[in-house]
Amino acid sequence: MTESQWHPSEDGINFHTRKWVKPEDLNANGTLFGGSLLRWIDEEAAIYAIIQLGNYRVVTKLISEINFEASALQGDLIEMGLTATRFGRTSLTMRAVVRNMITRKRILTIERLVFVSVDEDGQPKPHGYREITYDRDRMPREHPATGSIRLG
């Protein structure tokens, strides 16, 4: 990616979450550990799916081929972006891109992350949505830790 192609968004993906690469995120070569990155992406995707599907019970179903294009070093800042690419009946498919804000290189792309909305028994539950929301209108208003106590 050249400097002139560097934009706040890329292929419809907005980059919201930034991470600072710390010593505990490094592998034995002193570069960003892929496992740390995948943990961050899985968490980011879970939050995105909760916001899109209006259900805090979502599970990771599938993570497609991961293309590691460049790395990051201690002290680098990275940014993660996701966008929904397909709303199924119970599933949501997302595309992920991670970029290095210092080197301006793309670190990875994942073409398909599939999450499934489930019910209290862990069975697939239809979510009823077809399009991306850019608001917080589908946010669940009942917290899993507080059971039936409804928030504000």
Q: Tell me whether residue 34 or residue 140 sits nearer to ligand PKZ (CB atom).
A: 140
Cα–Cα nearest to 80, from 63, 61, 91, 94: 94
- Which region among 25-33, 94-102, 103-111, 135-143 touches ligand PKZ (by CB under 6 A)? 135-143
Instruction: Find the shortest distance in angstroms from Cβ 131 to ligand PKZ.
Output: 15
Token digits of residue 140: 């669940």
Neighbours of 101 (CB within 10 A): 16
**Nearest 5 degrees, angle CA 128-CA 133-CA 111?**
85
Choose the binding region for ligand PKZ from 8-16, 30-38, 84-92, 99-107 (rule: CB under 6 A).
84-92
| HSE, side-chain direction, 13 A CA sphere, residue 21 | 26
Residue 97 CB, nearest distance to ligand PKZ (Å)?
A: 20
**Binder to ligand PKZ among 90, 95, 96, 113 (CB under 6 A)?**
90
User: Residue 17 belongs to what H/E stretch?
Assistant: strand 13-20
Q: Which residue is nearest to ligand PKZ (CB)?
A: 88
Q: Count Cβ atoms below 10 Å from residue 51 Cβ, excluding itself.
A: 19
**What angle (nearest 5°) sits at the alpha carbon of residue 140, between those of residues 147 and 20?**
105
Which of these ranges, 2-10, 18-26, 72-80, 87-95, lies near ligand PKZ under the rule CB under 6 A? 87-95
**Residue of 58, 138, 65 whose CA lies nearest to 90:** 58
List 66, 73, 124, 132, residue binding ligand PKZ (CB under 6 A): 124
Binding to ligand PKZ in span 41-70, by CB under 6 A: 46, 50, 56, 58-62
Interface positions with ligand PKZ (CB under 6 A):
46, 50, 56, 58-62, 88-91, 114, 116, 118, 122, 124, 140-141, 143-144, 151
